[in-house]
Amino acid sequence: MIGHEERTAVAPPATVPAEPGWDHLRTSRRLGRAAAVTDYLLIVAGLLSLLVTDRHLIGDGARRYDALTQLLTGGGLSTDRYSLLGPLFSAPMWWLGRAAGDPRVWLSHYNLVLFVVALGLLFALLRRRVDAVLLRRFLLLLVAGSMIAPHVSDFYGETFTAMTVGVGALCAVAVVGPRALRLAGWVAMTLGGANTMSTLPALGLVGLRQGARTHRLRYVLPVLVAAAVALAESWARRGDPFDQGYGAERFDFPVVLGVLAILLSFGKGLVFFTPGLLLPARRRLRGLYDPAAVDLWRGHEAWLVLVAGLVVVYGGWWAWNGDLYWGPRFFLLAIFPASLALAAWLTHHDSRPSRNLALLAVLALSLWVGANSTIFEMLLSPTCFPLATKQEDFCRYGVLESRLWYPFLSWPRDLSATRWAQLDYHALVLYWLALPVVIRSVPEMSRRVRQAARRLPEWRL
């Protein structure tokens, strides 16, 4: 069956860091408990912050809502381009919302529910399998240090795809457990792929990589099933399995230019919106998980392969930017490897000032991404208007008009008390995660300063 994996494929035990005091949270049991409670409180506070963020059903989210409403009210299948697979799972919320008076309000919380469920599954899968501090920091960064906020405030389809594929990949290729668990992971990835067909090449890469490791061809089946489901939906809704609803749109944009823009553009680039991707994680993860229970590096690698596949696919599409949506809309999946890598760097002890300075920069940018996407999502530079003109490129490529930096040029004067509280929350998380890095850098910095001071007499005019 899909998901069967030989135990010999599990990575050999990693070497635990020899330094006994490699993390400040392990210096005493009392301090460790207090830190754990603080981490969980910050995670809960972050989820409450996402809950009070402005909610709306606009753009593609409104079209998905209309298609679902048409189906559930007996109007039949819509011919709209967007898949109904992800929205179908929200049908119970639609019915509850209709009974309460307004399904739109309920469905505006659907993606937040998906995100909370994904966090719960990650906690259940990794608890007792990975280092507790690493796990808490990983979850905290997903909540407070990622671009999740705009995705959970509307009814767009990227959240369903990212959560099913992200958690599913971990179950399918990383966690050592019952065969049913691995099978569930592949099923989740299949659902995500069927919901967003552009994900299929990336899923195919993961299947081929897993097949090459185990010498099994069955790992290509999920992508074939996902493609079959997507084609069947198109056939049922538009009368032609190959009519995806996009008309004559083609993936003929210069791929190299598209990839460069996806990675490096100031308004949409993954380097700026998911900076944790810049951090190499393999060595940092060593000793932070039980290789007999989970191969965390393999899971991280699978996430990176998925992101790389998405970048190449969308690099060839003229609409790689996702229009004026906040940030790199199609690459929400990247928050998983980015947050895990950053959490590993925060957890692994390293006293070298240069490394820690780079770490603090990535951490600060990640927390600013979380704060910006939560508080300033709807703040747009007027230079980017009117729509459907080349002026939009200012928001895609420009520094000053980038959604990430524009608030510094035009800070809103009417920020509510709630928004200030959200900003303070992200500042608190930055302080909480950065403080240990600063503390462990002090001895080495002091040593280097003393060494430089002793060499001052050697200098001559």
DSSP state of 130: B
Would the pLDDT of 18 be above 80? no
Torsion angle (degrees, nearest 10) of CA 33, 38, 43, 48: 130
Domain that holds residue 238: 24-55+109-453
What 3-state class would DSSP assign to 17? Answer: coil
Q: Is the pLDDT of residue 3 over 70?
A: no
Residue 323 zone, left/alpha/beta (φ > 0; ψ -120 to 50; rest): left
CB 107 within 8 A of CB 155: yes
Strand partners, 130: 289
Residue 112 contacts residue 50 (beta carbons within 8 Å): yes
Q: Is residue 95 part of a domain?
A: no
Write the pLDDT tens digit of every residue in 329-351. 999 999 999 999 999 999 988 87
pLDDT tens by residue, 220-239: 999 999 999 999 999 999 88
Residue 88 lies in a domain: no
In degrees, rounded to 5, the angle at the alpha carbon of residue 349 between the alpha carbons of residues 344 and 354 is 95
Distance between CA 130 and CA 95 in Å, rounded? Answer: 39
Q: In the prediction, which pLDDT does 1 show?
A: 39
Which pLDDT belongs to residue 4? 39
Q: Worst-scoring range by mean pLDDT, 82-91, 149-158, 185-194, 250-259?
A: 250-259
**Given pLDDT bands bounded at 50, 70 and 90, which one contains residue 13?**
very low
Q: Would residue 458 count as lying in a domain?
A: no
At residue 246 the predicted structure's pLDDT band, cuts being 50, 70 and 90, is confident
- Which stretch of 110-114, 130-134, 247-251 has the lowest confidence by average pLDDT? 247-251
For residue 302, give the nearest of 171, 198, 134, 114 by alpha carbon.
171
Instruction: Return the bridge partners of 289, or none.
Output: 130
- pLDDT tens-digit series, residues 155-170: 999 999 999 999 999 9
Cβ(201)–Cβ(309) below 8 Å: yes
Residue 188 has pLDDT above 50, yes or no: yes
Lowest mean pLDDT among 22-26, 106-110, 410-414, 439-443: 22-26
- Structure-model confidence comparison of residues 81 and 47, the more confident one: 47
Residue found under tokens 């965390």: 296
**What is the pLDDT at residue 192?**
95
Whether 347 maps to a domain, the answer reads: yes
CB of 340 closer than 8 Å to CB of 368? no
pLDDT single digits (tens) 130-150: 999 999 999 999 999 999 999
Task: State how many domains the chain has.
Answer: 1
Residue pair 39/137 in contact by the 8 Å Cβ criterion: yes
The three-point CA angle 267-273-274 to 5° equals: 150
Among 22-31, 198-207, 245-254, 450-459, which stretch is predicted with the lowest mean pLDDT?
Answer: 22-31
For 25-45, write each residue's pLDDT tens digit: 455 677 888 889 999 999 999
- Looking from the CA of 10 toward its CB, the CA atoms found within 13 Å total 16
Report DSSP letters for 35-88, one per residue.
HHHHHHHHHHHHHHHHHTS-----HHHHHHHHHHHHHHTT------SS-SHHHH
Q: How far apart are CA 388 and CA 380, in angstroms?
A: 15
Q: How many CB atoms lie within 10 A of CB 97?
A: 19
- Segment 13-29 shows an average pLDDT of 45
Task: Note whether residue 233 is domain-resident.
Answer: yes
Residue 17's pLDDT is 39
In a domain, 157, yes or no: yes
Q: Which of the four pLDDT bands, split at 50, 70 and 90, describes residue 12?
A: very low
User: Letter for the amino acid at 17?
Assistant: P
| 333 in Cβ contact with 302 (< 8 Å) | no
Chain mean pLDDT for the chain: 88
User: What pLDDT does residue 389 have?
Assistant: 65
Each residue's pLDDT tens digit, 407-430: 998 888 889 999 999 999 999 999
Beta bridge pairs of residue 65: none
- Extract the tokens encoding 99: 């009974």
- Asked whether the beta carbons of 152 and 159 are under 8 A apart, the reply is yes
Q: Kindly tell me if the per-residue pLDDT of 23 is higher than 60.
A: no
Give the C-alpha separation, 359 to 357, whole Å: 5
Residue 76 falls inside a structural domain: no
Tell me, what amino acid is at 345? W
Q: What is the predicted pLDDT for the residue at 350?
A: 80
| Full DSSP string of 162-197 | HHHHHHHHHHHHTB---HHHHHHHHHHHHHHHHH-G
Q: In 3D, which of 303, 283, 276 has the Cα closest to residue 172?
A: 303
Confidence of residue 5 (pLDDT cuts 50, 70, 90): very low
Confidence of residue 11 (pLDDT cuts 50, 70, 90): very low
